[in-house]
Amino acid sequence: MDARPRTPTLTAIRGGSDERDRLLDAWLPAVVRWCAHLGGPGVDAEDAAHDVFIVALRRLDRLYDPSQTAAWLFGITRRVLAQHRRRAWVRRWVPGLTIDSPDPARGPAAQMVGSETSERVRAVLAQLPVAERQVLLLCLVEERSDREVAEMLEIPHGTVKSRMRRARARFLEIAARSGLDGEDA
């Protein structure tokens, strides 16, 4: 399963709205997936993905190498999610503000959540540190190579390998404590 979109990025940079729409259509599923896996509690994945594309389309002229689209979009996604997590934290702790809870019956996020097991796995993933969750998502779910992940996260290749090792061990430990075994997944 290759989740990497093949897009006419260069034509989107130089072209009109049709090319930008094709770019958005090609990358939207991947960005929503990233937001859903990395967003955390109180972050609406679709809302965050929308904000990612607002930033991306405004800065499309800054994408100098179209082959780096994945790394460029993932970097924007990480920064936008950091803002969304801060807002979610503030809404939780500041009196008088309410947390917006997304409607689970709509959109791509609802399609991702198909069973009780997937919810339990997502709960385990949510307990991992963000850096480890990012590496797991990109390597295991997106099926990207260690070197590609290192480039996307702008970290050394060895750091990706050590985070992956720690993330797997921590995931298995948390899954075992929560009663989730390999046969459930």
Q: What is the pLDDT of residue 12?
A: 52
3-state secondary structure of 79: helix
Q: Are residues 26 and 81 in the same domain?
A: yes
Q: pLDDT value at position 69? A: 87
| Residue 69 located in a structural domain | yes
Specify whether 97 is located in the same domain as 172.
Answer: no
* Of residues 22, 78, 24, the one with CA closest to residue 48: 78
**131, 42, 177, 118 alpha-carbon torsion, rounded to 10°:** -90
pLDDT at 93: 54
Q: Kindly give, in sequence order, each residue whose CB lies less than 8 Å from that of residue 87, ignoring residues fewer than 6 positions away.
A: none
Query: Average pLDDT by consecutive 10-residue portion of the chain (185 residues)?
Result: 49 62 87 90 88 89 83 91 78 51 51 62 87 88 84 92 92 86 53
Enclosing domain of residue 96: 1-113
48 shares its domain with 66:
yes
Domain of 147, CATH number, reads: 1.10.10.10
The length of the chain is 185
Question: Do 119 and 165 form a contact (C-beta atoms < 8 A)?
Answer: no
Among 90, 113, 136, the domain boundary falls at 113
Q: Are residues 90 and 128 in the same domain?
A: no
pTM of the model: 0.55
Q: Helix (H, G, I), strand (E, B), or coil: what is residue 143?
A: coil
The answer to whether residues 88 and 99 touch, using CB atoms and an 8 Å cutoff, is yes
pLDDT at 92: 64
Amino acid identity, position 30: A
Is residue 185 one of the residues assigned to a domain?
no
* Per-position DSSP letters for 46-103, written without gaps between them: HHHHHHHHHHHHHTGGG---GGGHHHHHHHHHHHHHHHHHHHHHHHHHSTT--PPPP-
